[in-house]
Amino acid sequence: MKEENKQKDLKVLVLQKLADYLGLTPEDISVDDEFENDLHMHASDLVDFIELLNQSGIDTSKANLNEIVSVADLIQAISQEIYE
């Protein structure tokens, strides 16, 4: 159950950071949203956002950007790094 709560906390944190980055509210973003198609982020925007997460203390060093399409993909990649 603790891991599930940590996953939820990570989801909330990523959604809040992404909303701030895009000038939206977290309620405007779904974990199913795709960065390019739904959020209109280019690859360079995603790289910038990943760097912002790193600066916030979230380790994304092992996340493969080529495999991240949606917000859920990013959360899953980060959580695998944290909880392995």
> For the whole model, what pTM was predicted?
0.87
The DSSP letter of residue 70 is B
What the chain holds in terms of domains, given with CATH numbers, is: 2-83 (1.10.1200.10)
For the chain, 84 residues long, give each residue's pLDDT as a single digit of tens: 455 666 778 999 999 999 999 999 999 999 999 999 999 999 999 999 999 999 999 888 888 889 999 999 999 999 875 555
User: How far apart are alpha carbons 81 and 24 in whole angstroms?
Assistant: 27
User: How far apart are alpha carbons 38 and 60 in whole angstroms?
Assistant: 22
SS3 content of the chain, % helix, strand, coil (to 5): 65, 0, 35
